[in-house]
Amino acid sequence: MNYNIIIYISRNNLSFYFSQNKSSYKIYEFENESLIPLCFYSEGSQFDIGHSAKLKIQGNYPKTYDDYFNLIKDTGSSFEFFNKEKKYKDLLVVGIEYLMNRFLEEIEITSDRVADIREKINLSLVFASDIKQHEINFVGELFKGAGYKNLKLIYYNYLLLNYLDKFRRIGAYKDDQGKIGAFKGYLLIDGLDNNLYIDFYNELSSKTPKFKKTGEDLANDPKDKIIAKILFDLAVIKSGSKVKEKSELIRLLPLAKKYSSSSKSEPLITVELSDGSVEKVRLKMKKVKEILSYESNFTKDFDTVKECEQKSKVTNIDLLVVVKRSITSINFLDKIKSHYNNVYHYNEEIEEVFELFISSPDVIDFGDFMETRTSKSDRSPKQKKTNSELPIPPPIVPLTNTTKQTRGKKPPTQPPKRVEVPSRPKPPPPLPKRGVVKNKVVKSNVNSNLRPSAPKPPPPPKRAVVTNKASKSGGNLKLKPPPPIRSSGKKKK
C-alpha cells in the first residue's frame, strides 16, 4: 500500500495532510491540533514535537529547540536522539518521521514503520511564503539523503495561482482569444507571524516568484496589535509569567480582534498565556484609542504593496492582487480594494488547493523543484519542443554523385554499396552543345565514366554558326567540323 502525504511547512509551524485511495486530502490533527508548532524536545530515548515541545521551551526545559531555519546555521552543534548524536539539520526529518509513525498508528492502524516503507511513501513538502528558495533546496537534500525516492518540493503560492486559474476563481478576465488568467502580473499578499509577505509572479508557470518583499510587523490591523500588547502586559504583570512577548502577541491577536469592535468601554477579558497562566484583565478602550490616534496615518503596509507594483512595471488593469485569508486588517483590505481594479480575497481551505495533486499531475510535476534537481525537463507542458529537443533523424547515406549537401565533405571511409541499375534505365541527358558564346568555347563537364555501358546514340549536333561578332573579330576563330554521321544501313550500289 502506498501512502500519499503532504507536509505544509512554514518557519514556525507544520500541518499534516493525507489522501487515501486518491480521495480528497484531509488534515491529520496531531495532539488534537491542526497547527503543529515547529518545536522539538529530544533527550535520550524521549522525543516530542509540536505543542508539548513548545510548552517545554516556555518552561525553560533543557534539550529543547525551535527557530529551525536559523538553528541549522549552527553546523557544528548536535542533539541527542535515542542516545545518538545528530546534527541540528536532522531535527526536521526526525520530527516529520515521528509524525508519520503516529499517523500510521492512529489513522492507518498498521504496524508499518517509516524506516521500513520509505519507498512506499509519496511525500510532498509544500512551503509557505516565508520559506526562501535556498531553504527549500536544503530541505529537499535532507529528505533525499534520508532515502525518500518519491519526493516532491512545491512552493505553495505557485499551487495557489494555478488552482485559482484552473478553477476559474480568477477567470472573469480573459484575453482576446478567451484565454483564462490573461494577466501580465500577479501580486500575492500573505501574513505570517505578524509579517507581511508579498510575492510577484509574471507568469503562472514560474516555480517561485520573480521577486519577493517582506514587511516586518505589517501583517495585522494596528488596533488589534495595540489590544494584544495591552492584554499581554496586564496578564504578565499579574501572573509573573516569563513567556516571550513576540510569540504571545501572535497567540493573542485572535482574542484582540474579538474585542476590537466592542461597544463596552472597559470589557473584562480572560487571558490565557501559552505556559498555562490564566488571568482576568480589564481593557480600557479609551487607552486603545489614544495609542491608535498616534498611528492614524499608518500606511506602511499599503506603501509596501505599492513599491512592489512599481517594481513589477505592470499597469493596474493588467495586475491581479490576491489577498490571503491571513490578512485581517480591515483598513488594509479597504485600501487594496479601492486602489486596484482586480482584487481576489482568497478564503478557500488549503485542502481545496491540494486537489491539484489529484486532478492536475502536470501542474504538480512542472512546479516540483525535484524535477529540476533530477535533470528533468523544465519546460511547461503547453510549450512546444525546441529544435534541440526534437528526435535526431537517421544519418543520410551519401550518394555516388556529388550533391549540394555533400560538397566539401570528406568521402566516407568505406566504399559505397553498389547500386543496382534497373532493367530499363532512363536515357541519359543529351550531351551539351558545342558552340561559341560571347567568344568563349563551351566544353562539356560530363564525366565519361558515369555513362551507361550501352547508351543510345545522341541526336546529330547542329552546325555552329559564326555570328557577326565572330566575323568582326578578325575571322581567326576556327571551328572543328562535326563528326561524320554513321549510318546503320548498307550503302546503295
pLDDT single digits (tens) 158-207:
999 999 888 765 654 555 554 555 788 999 999 988 889 999 999 888 99
pLDDT over threshold 80, residue 82: yes
Lowest mean pLDDT among 49-58, 331-340, 418-427, 432-441: 432-441
pLDDT over threshold 90, residue 63: yes
**199, 324 contact by CB (below 8 A):** no
Domain range 3-166+351-373, CATH architecture: 2-Layer Sandwich (3.30)
pLDDT over threshold 50, residue 79: yes
How far apart, in whole angstroms, are the C-alpha atoms of residue 243 and residue 232? 10
Q: What pTM was computed for the model? A: 0.68
Phi, psi for residue 210 in degrees, rounded to 5: -65, -35
Phi, psi for residue 195 in degrees, rounded to 5: -105, 150
pLDDT tens for each residue of 265-308:
899 999 988 888 899 999 999 888 888 776 655 678 899 999 99
pLDDT over threshold 50, residue 399: no
Question: What is residue 483's predicted lDDT score, i.e. its pLDDT?
Answer: 60
For residue 356 the three cell numbers come to: 491539484
pLDDT over threshold 60, residue 116: yes
pLDDT over threshold 90, residue 480: no
pLDDT over threshold 50, residue 46: yes
- Sign of the Cα torsion 136, 141, 147, 152 reads positive
Reported as a pLDDT band with limits 50, 70 and 90, residue 240 is confident
Buried b / exposed e over 401-432, threshold 16 CB at 10 Å, is eeeeeeeeeeeeeeeeeeeeeeeeeeeeeeee
Q: What is the mean pLDDT of residues 237-262?
A: 85
Question: What is residue 26's predicted lDDT score, i.e. its pLDDT?
Answer: 95
Reported as a pLDDT band with limits 50, 70 and 90, residue 139 is very high
pLDDT over threshold 50, residue 137: yes
pLDDT tens for each residue of 349-372:
899 999 999 999 999 999 998 876
Chain position carrying cell 505543542: 51
Residue 256, judged by CB atoms within 10 A of its CB (0-12, 13-18, 19+), counts as buried
**71, 65 contact by CB (below 8 A):** yes
Lowest mean pLDDT among 42-51, 413-422, 477-486: 413-422
